Amino acid sequence: MRFLVLSDVHMRDKVGTWAARLAGDHAVDGILVLGDITHFGPPEWAGEFLRSLPGKVYAIPGNCDPLLTLTHIERSSICLHQRRIRLADRDWIGYGGSNPTIFKTPNEVPEERIFQTLDQLMTPGAVMMMHCPAMGILDLTTSGVRGGSEAIKQIVDKYHPSVLLSGHIHEARGCLRERGTLFLNPGAAKDGYAALLEIDAERAEATLLDRVVD
């Protein structure tokens, strides 16, 4: 299966237009949206955006999405937040929001709760669809501070997921494989960035797409 991966839309209207075009150009089977769909609201904008995308859409909220955004995500897409589904012959686990930040954004969760929730959902080798990255991997900010989650890193070390998708740290766009896990941050969709994930029971490969300039 082939998926278009988006994160950090931050309420940019043009993202829906070019994302639909990319989905068609690459003949994707679905679109994965990794949170921060809105920019501190309004929550209903997330629903409008998700409904504008073609085909099956799988989504989670981000830390800049007010808590009520989750309701609109659930109504307008296949919501993976705190859920496990079977897709592409693998278990997929989703978790939106982030660990605490200095910015005190609307959807921040204590590390202990992140770990407890994920520990109940995870299976070895699963695909993790997160907003926040694991501490130390694709989480370095321009100020030199790492913004990843210790809890997610602990889950990675315990369960060795096959794939970890995340956004949150806009400048940490990248793709790497470490200890058998494929880590992908597609970059901020608000800036024209996206990625492709090709995955089945046997393999998982990611491609960072060229920046869209409209």
Complete domains list, the chain, with CATH: 2-208 (3.60.21.10)
**Torsion angle, alpha carbons of 63, 65, 70, 76, to 10:** -130
For residues 28-46, give the mean pLDDT.
98
What is the maximum span of the chain, computed from C-alpha positions, in angstroms?
Answer: 43
Distance, CA of 44 to CA of 132 (rounded, Å): 22
Query: DSSP of 100-118, one letter per residue?
Result: --TT--SSB--HHHHHHHH
Q: Could you tell me the pLDDT band of residue 130, with boundaries at 50, 70 and 90?
A: very high
User: With contact defined as beta carbons under 8 Å apart, do 172 and 138 qualify?
Assistant: yes
Q: Could you give the percent of the chain with pLDDT greater than 70?
A: 100
At 213 the pLDDT is: 83
Distance, CA of 32 to CA of 78 (rounded, Å): 10
The model's pLDDT over 55-99, given as tens digits with 9 standing for 90+, comes to: 999 999 999 999 999 999 999 999 999 999 999 999 999 999 999
For tokens 């989650």, the residue is: 149
